[in-house]
A and B are shown apart, each in its own frame.
Chain A
């Protein structure tokens, strides 16, 4: 600590001398060389201050270059330059003062300065005063970002000054908002602060709450009398806010009460007083119970060899003489009252928004489950075929997307290609599986399960052999990056919205095919009574093949979507297979609305449990499974049960 202080003083004196002489940028940098090289947030402050204080016109540029990790140091003489990489791998150095070219140097002769993000944030704060009125809109936005991250009292004045000249409407709005927020925290006039708080009362922004909460921060005070301060509340010992133990611990910490003798301290005392195998007359070998040890300790106390134990009565007596208060750090009661009121006003709105956000998450999860399950709703729900390789079709779709992206670098085009291609690939795989395996087993559903499981592990291992075990990147097109931000609490990423829309499209497609096309009619006929359908001129083989292919193809498209938002690995299919079956079974086999209801229920239930127990997502999944098991016991046919003969067995 002492050395740190010394270094600080040293640095400060250097800074002043630099200020006095105002020489070149290099001089100023050299004067701060040690600090710049150390590049730590704790010590860099004086160096930045010195640079700013030098008042040189190039300082903004220098700071920006430094912040962008473009500042280099020549090892030989320690001089600082900006550098650009040449074609031959060497670096071309330029002087900061005139931008003069000072030749090239090999990378090994240079040291790149890499300020960490803490230092960069401090540089950004120093840059604010230059950038607030910069002609470049992006730099003004940077300056505002920087203020928002690290609001400092000193920045309030330049911010206010810059508002008048602001021409850009968005930036102006941000500046005004920031000015309001900083006024709450830093303005010297209580009335202005209260006005600013009341002005924004009930605002939903995280920044608003982040400004008010520190104003309302409290410290806990132990005192015999009521302290002269802005008191938040008087605490009652034994209430939830202050338990008896916590209160006594506060007293001990304040030095107003003796420490309780812990079991460890008691044992240490006993061990210290063993004399000829006996402690205060008790044989040490018999001290193998808590009671015996307590008795021996009390005997030691009686001989004045140990500190007496603190009894419950002692604790009660100590607690009775003191009072406990929460005291605001903020001295003005007007400000804290206004802040309390403003926060309370936000609270309801935040709660509603959080519920809405949770609802969106649940909806999103439900649409993912639905998307994964919809292919299964066709093969299992309509045809009654258990296809354990369904998950692997999802995986095949995702890998198709990955392969397409290897050849087509444009992400938008590649997605447009991969969706139909994934459908084609998995449709073909589905048809092959139906022709080669499933059709022989229509009357042995349990064996279909085993055979398709065999296909599933073979496909999984095959994918590993081809693509390796490492996860593969499947990157979404730029227009799906980012999130739709409704307010600071409610937002949802575009990719999830896309999945939601895709799920709706598939629902529509499914309904259209089943209700409005010849294939749908024939499928329903074949599932209800294959022999009757055959005698009506329908070819059940062809219908089964096409239906199975359709279900598999949809799984392939789902794979592309799931790969975009999560990961592409050979095992991604097995993550979804059990859940997908659950979705179909819970919803009610043979009914697409049931699958929809199943997905909605599972997604909603899981998010609900996550909300109740935010620290353990695994528990949410466990409870969901248990819930499903119990649910099926009571509604074995699912939420929407088919009635009549179609239900079959």
Chain B
């Protein structure tokens, strides 16, 4: 098995080499929504990619070729993501795609990428429970964001009762399921976990905030874990500060609130509430300072950087290095060269690409400051991303190892590969 894959990839690399030499420029597809509801977040990532590509071209491109960005607009329309991905891979013949934000858009693209053997870098924190041969997940898996943040709540803040508030879609649902299982394994009773789901863009938060306050009535310290998405956060935090809930009374840790989201808010009443990410703009390293300077120089002084941008930064640089190592932009050769790639994080330390297509990255917890930034109060060492969570019974027995096992969904109990293609 092992030898055949090695042989196959070696063959692929050999056959790809001569083709590549004539195949300039190297095309990089950018599949981010530039219109519709998700444009709010994804346009920034498109600009990030263009910045990175320009920087790389200034350094001489890759394999002696200039890089060419192919930007398409899937318009926050999930079926359109699949259509545009197919177009990128077959009509434009791109060598790699950087794109997607929402899980549903990724699920929409997956069958196309796998069918056409493309390569996708997905930069956003997500719910896990997936490992595709053709996707590298540079955002955080739940064990790289949700679990450490919950540990922080349990150990550092002494929280005994949890309110899991989320927007009603798959990331909060799965994350909260994992967290519920995790909290129960830590001895928190089911009755001490309050779960609520709200629609996208929800704005009427008074009752939910009142419900959370009421949780304190049995004398346990209450904390909120928020997977509330996008615009809805604005109303939520406004209601929170109107109700006079300080971070010392009921701390809120958010997984979807970054620097961009805070720029739509007056944060003076939110000081001390938390967010967990793998990156904060306030990280104090030379690499980060350089990146922020380049970004502001290109986009304007008032622009901020955030976690998915760093994910693209790492993902893109790793891809460039993998292409250089493989001597080819061919998907199979690059994929093989990706395993074990290392690249310095913007927050210090080194990110490593694991055989399960996830990164090992440090987890940072920051407190919101009055300036709309985060004050980093906790930074772990690198945590390896786990595709299949250990805290849900049906996925605890699964693992992903594309390098040696050649399988993204391997059942460690029966020692068999459940499937090599994803089931979307």
Which of A's residues lie within 8 Å of B, judged by CB? Answer: 40-42, 69, 114-121, 145, 149, 206, 209-214, 354, 357-358, 361, 364-365, 368, 461, 464, 469-473, 475, 481-483, 485, 489, 491-496, 562, 565-569, 571, 575, 607, 610-611, 614-618, 621
B147 contacts the other chain (CB 8 A): no
By a CB distance below 8 angstroms, the chain A residues around B51 are none
By a CB distance below 8 angstroms, the chain A residues around B239 are 493
By a CB distance below 8 angstroms, the chain B residues around A358 are 207
Question: B201–A210 contact, CB under 8 A?
Answer: no
Instruction: Specify the chain B residue showing the minimal Cβ separation from A41.
Output: B156
By a CB distance below 8 angstroms, the chain B residues around A461 are 35
A interface footprint on B170-205 (CB within 8 Å = 1, 0 otherwise): 000000000000000000000000111111011110
A354 to B202, CA, bound (A): 22
Return B298 CB to nearest CB of chain A, in Å. 16
Question: B264–A567 contact, CB under 8 A?
Answer: yes
Known A-B contacts A471-B231, A567-B231; the reply to A210 vs B218 at CB < 8 A is: yes
Question: A565–B156 contact, CB under 8 A?
Answer: no
Return A559 CB to nearest CB of chain B, in Å. 13
By a CB distance below 8 angstroms, the chain A residues around B195 are 615
By a CB distance below 8 angstroms, the chain A residues around B213 are 206
Question: B218–A213 contact, CB under 8 A?
Answer: yes
Known A-B contacts A117-B272, A471-B40, A493-B242; the reply to A567 vs B203 at CB < 8 A is: yes
Return A639 CB to nearest CB of chain B, in Å. 22
Instruction: Specify the chain B residue showing the minimal Cβ separation from A210.
Output: B219
Known A-B contacts A469-B39, A566-B238; the reply to A40 vs B203 at CB < 8 A is: no
Contact partner, A483, options B43, B197, B244, Cβ 8 Å: B244
Q: Which of A119, A565, A621 neighbours the largest number of chain B CB atoms within 10 Å of its CB?
A: A565
Return A141 CB to nearest CB of chain B, in Å. 13
A568 to B265, CA, bound (A): 10
By a CB distance below 8 angstroms, the chain A residues around B39 are 464, 469
Contact partner, A206, options B201, B217, B367, Cβ 8 Å: B217
A566 to B243, CA, bound (A): 14
A185 to B40, CA, bound (A): 51
Question: A617–B197 contact, CB under 8 A?
Answer: yes
Chain B interface bracket (under 10, 10 to 19, 20 to 34, 35 or more): 35 or more
Return A267 CB to nearest CB of chain B, in Å. 10
A145 to B216, CA, bound (A): 15
By a CB distance below 8 angstroms, the chain B residues around A617 are 196-199, 202, 208
By a CB distance below 8 angstroms, the chain A residues around B155 are 40-42, 118
Contact partner, B217, options A145, A210, A614, Cβ 8 Å: A210
Known A-B contacts A117-B248, A494-B242; the reply to A569 vs B231 at CB < 8 A is: yes
Contact partner, B40, options A470, A482, A485, A614, Cβ 8 Å: A470
Question: A213–B206 contact, CB under 8 A?
Answer: no
By a CB distance below 8 angstroms, the chain B residues around A357 are 210
Question: A618–B199 contact, CB under 8 A?
Answer: yes
A492 to B377, CA, bound (A): 33
Q: Which of B251, B261, B376, B377 neighbours the largest number of chain A CB atoms within 10 Å of its CB?
A: B377
Additional 19 contacts, C-beta under 8 A, given A114-B377, A361-B207, A617-B196: A40-B155, A115-B377, A117-B251, A209-B217, A354-B214, A464-B39, A471-B40, A471-B234, A475-B266, A481-B242, A482-B244, A489-B214, A493-B239, A562-B203, A565-B235, A567-B235, A575-B201, A615-B197, A618-B198
A268 to B19, CA, bound (A): 52
Known A-B contacts A357-B210, A471-B234, A617-B197; the reply to A481 vs B203 at CB < 8 A is: no
B37 contacts the other chain (CB 8 A): yes
By a CB distance below 8 angstroms, the chain A residues around B272 are 117
By a CB distance below 8 angstroms, the chain B residues around A482 are 242, 244
A615 to B242, CA, bound (A): 22
Question: B266–A149 contact, CB under 8 A?
Answer: no
A602 to B249, CA, bound (A): 34
Contact partner, A567, options B43, B219, B234, B241, Cβ 8 Å: B234
Instruction: Specify the chain B residue showing the minimal Cβ separation from A108.
Output: B284
B247 contacts the other chain (CB 8 A): yes
Instruction: Specify the chain A residue showing the minimal Cβ separation from B272.
Output: A117
By a CB distance below 8 angstroms, the chain A residues around B386 are none
Question: B203–A471 contact, CB under 8 A?
Answer: no
Question: B206–A41 contact, CB under 8 A?
Answer: no
Known A-B contacts A206-B213, A492-B206, A617-B197; the reply to A481 vs B241 at CB < 8 A is: yes
Question: A614–B211 contact, CB under 8 A?
Answer: yes
A interface footprint on B225-245 (CB within 8 Å = 1, 0 otherwise): 000000100110011011110
Contact partner, B243, options A365, A491, A614, Cβ 8 Å: A491
Known A-B contacts A117-B248, A482-B242, A483-B242; the reply to A493 vs B157 at CB < 8 A is: no
Question: B196–A614 contact, CB under 8 A?
Answer: yes
Instruction: Specify the chain B residue showing the minimal Cβ separation from A114.
Output: B377
Return A379 CB to nearest CB of chain B, in Å. 23
A464 to B199, CA, bound (A): 22
Contact partner, B219, options A213, A495, A566, A616, Cβ 8 Å: A213
By a CB distance below 8 angstroms, the chain A residues around B207 are 358, 361, 607, 610-611, 614
A470 to B234, CA, bound (A): 11
Contact partner, A496, options B206, B219, B265, Cβ 8 Å: B206
By a CB distance below 8 angstroms, the chain A residues around B235 are 565-567
Return A281 CB to nearest CB of chain B, in Å. 24
A614 to B247, CA, bound (A): 23
B158 contacts the other chain (CB 8 A): yes
B54 contacts the other chain (CB 8 A): no
Question: B156–A118 contact, CB under 8 A?
Answer: yes
Return B85 CB to nearest CB of chain A, in Å. 22
Question: A116–B156 contact, CB under 8 A?
Answer: yes
A211 to B216, CA, bound (A): 10
Q: Can you report 7 A-B residue pairs in the complex whose CB atoms are below 8 A from each other?
A: A118-B156, A464-B39, A469-B39, A482-B242, A483-B244, A495-B242, A615-B195
A117 to B377, CA, bound (A): 9
Question: A471–B264 contact, CB under 8 A?
Answer: yes
Q: Which of A357, A482, A566 neighbours the largest number of chain B CB atoms within 10 Å of its CB?
A: A566
Return A540 CB to nearest CB of chain B, in Å. 38
A297 to B199, CA, bound (A): 49
Instruction: Specify the chain B residue showing the minimal Cβ separation from A475.
Output: B266
Instruction: Specify the chain A residue showing the minimal Cβ separation from B201.
Output: A575
By a CB distance below 8 angstroms, the chain A residues around B265 are 473
Q: Which of B156, B194, B197, B375 neighbours the largest number of chain A CB atoms within 10 Å of its CB?
A: B156
Return B243 CB to nearest CB of chain A, in Å. 6
Instruction: Specify the chain B residue showing the minimal Cβ separation from A44.
Output: B156
B263 contacts the other chain (CB 8 A): yes
Question: A616–B168 contact, CB under 8 A?
Answer: yes
A115 to B157, CA, bound (A): 11
Return A580 CB to nearest CB of chain B, in Å. 14
Contact partner, A149, options B211, B214, B248, B377, Cβ 8 Å: B248
Question: B214–A206 contact, CB under 8 A?
Answer: yes
A214 to B272, CA, bound (A): 28
B381 contacts the other chain (CB 8 A): no
Question: A493–B199 contact, CB under 8 A?
Answer: no
B68 contacts the other chain (CB 8 A): no
B412 contacts the other chain (CB 8 A): no
A276 to B134, CA, bound (A): 41
A interface footprint on B142-161 (CB within 8 Å = 1, 0 otherwise): 00000000001001111000
Question: B158–A41 contact, CB under 8 A?
Answer: yes
Q: Which 9 A-B pairs have the closest CB atoms?
A: A471-B264, A493-B242, A566-B203, A210-B219, A213-B218, A567-B234, A118-B156, A469-B40, A214-B219
By a CB distance below 8 angstroms, the chain B residues around A40 are 155-156
Question: A116–B210 contact, CB under 8 A?
Answer: no
Contact partner, A117, options B208, B244, B367, Cβ 8 Å: B367
A69 to B376, CA, bound (A): 12
Return B7 CB to nearest CB of chain A, in Å. 34
B341 contacts the other chain (CB 8 A): no
By a CB distance below 8 angstroms, the chain B residues around A485 are 244
Contact partner, B218, options A119, A209, A618, Cβ 8 Å: A209
Contact partner, B157, options A117, A209, A470, A491, Cβ 8 Å: A117
Instruction: Specify the chain B residue showing the minimal Cβ separation from A151.
Output: B219
